[in-house]
Amino acid sequence: MWDWSPIRDWLSGIITPYWTLPMLLAVQTLMVMICIILTMAFYTLAERKVIGWIQARKGPNRIGGLLIPGLAQPFADVVKLMFKEIIIPADSNGFLFRLAPFLALVPSLAIWAVIPFSPQHAFANIDAGLLYVLALTSMGVYGIILAGWAANSKYAFLGAMRSAAQIVAYEIAMGFAMVGVLMAAGSLNIGDIIQAQAGLFGWNWTWLFPLLVVYFISGVAETNRAPFDVAEGESEIVAGFHVDYSGMAFALFFIAEYVNMILISALTVIFFFGGWLSPFDGWLPEDSWLAAPGFFWFGLKTLFPMFTFLWLRATFPRYRYDQIMRLGWKALIPVTLVWLLVEGFMVYFHVGPWKGHL
Partner 1 sequence: MFPTILFFTFAATLIAAALGVILARNPVYSALLLVLCFFNSAVIWLLLDAEFLGIVLVLVYVGAVMVLFLFVVMMLDINLAELRKGLASYWPLAVAIAGFVVFAMINIIVVKHLGGMSMRTAPALAANYSNTRELGTALFTRYAYPAQIAAVILLVASVAAIVLTLRRRTGGKPQNIAQQVAVRAKDRVRIVKMASEKRP
Q: Is 126 a residue that touches partner 1 (CB under 8 A)? A: yes
User: Between the CA of residue 346 and those of 251, 340, 358, what are the distances in Å?
Assistant: 46, 10, 12
41, 46, 106, 161: which one binds partner 1 (CB under 8 A): 161
2, 142, 311, 329: which one binds partner 1 (CB under 8 A): 142
Within residues 187-206, the interface with partner 1 by CB under 8 A covers: 188
Whether residue 64 contacts residue 72, with contact meaning beta carbons closer than 8 Å, is answered with yes
Question: 257 by DSSP, 3-state: which?
Answer: helix
Rounded Cα gap, residues 47 and 327, in angstroms: 26
Whether residue 205 contacts residue 124, with contact meaning beta carbons closer than 8 Å, is answered with no
Taking CB under 8 A as the binding criterion, the range among 68-76, 132-140, 300-308, 339-347 that sits at the site for partner 1 is 132-140
Closest CB to partner 1 among residues 60, 328: 328
Q: Is 135 a residue that touches partner 1 (CB under 8 A)? A: yes
Q: Is 157 a residue that touches partner 1 (CB under 8 A)? A: yes
Rounded Cα gap, residues 84 and 155, in angstroms: 22
97, 132, 309, 339: which one binds partner 1 (CB under 8 A): 132
Residue type, 268: T
86, 96, 347, 351: which one binds partner 1 (CB under 8 A): 96
To the nearest whole angstrom, how small is the minimum distance from the Cβ of residue 99 to partner 1? 9
Please say whether the dihedral angle defined by the alpha carbons of residues 330, 333, 336 and 338, taken in this order, is positive or negative: negative
Q: Is 307 a residue that touches partner 1 (CB under 8 A)? A: no
To the nearest whole angstrom, how small is the minimum distance from the Cβ of residue 213 to partner 1? 20
Question: 227 by DSSP, 3-state: which?
Answer: coil
Q: Alpha-carbon dihedral of residues 214, 296, 109, 59, nearest 10 degrees?
A: -80
Whether residue 160 contacts residue 241, with contact meaning beta carbons closer than 8 Å, is answered with yes
User: What are residue 168's phi and psi, to 5 degrees?
Assistant: -65, -40
32, 164, 314, 342: which one binds partner 1 (CB under 8 A): 164
To the nearest whole angstrom, how small is the minimum distance from the Cβ of residue 305 to partner 1? 23
Q: Is 131 a residue that touches partner 1 (CB under 8 A)? A: yes
CA angle 54-59-60, nearest 5°?
Answer: 160
Closest CB to partner 1 among residues 50, 104: 104
- Per DSSP, what are the bridge partners of residue 281? 284
47, 77, 111, 171: which one binds partner 1 (CB under 8 A): 171
Rounded Cα gap, residues 41 and 48, in angstroms: 11
Q: Is 252 a residue that touches partner 1 (CB under 8 A)? A: no
Q: Is 168 a residue that touches partner 1 (CB under 8 A)? A: yes
20, 138, 152, 246: which one binds partner 1 (CB under 8 A): 138
Q: Is 179 a residue that touches partner 1 (CB under 8 A)? A: no
- Neighbour tally for 298: CB within 10 Å: 25
Closest CB to partner 1 among residues 12, 93: 93
Residue type, 164: A
Q: Is 128 a residue that touches partner 1 (CB under 8 A)? A: yes
Closest CB to partner 1 among residues 11, 114: 114
User: What are residue 120's phi and psi, to 5 degrees?
Assistant: -100, -15
Q: Is 46 a residue that touches partner 1 (CB under 8 A)? A: no
To the nearest whole angstrom, how small is the minimum distance from the Cβ of residue 267 to partner 1? 15
Residue 103 contacts by C-beta under 8 Å, 6 or more apart in sequence? 139, 140, 142, 143, 146
Residues that bind partner 1 (CB under 8 A): 93, 96, 126-128, 131-132, 134-136, 138-139, 141-142, 145-146, 149, 157, 160-161, 164-165, 167-168, 171, 188
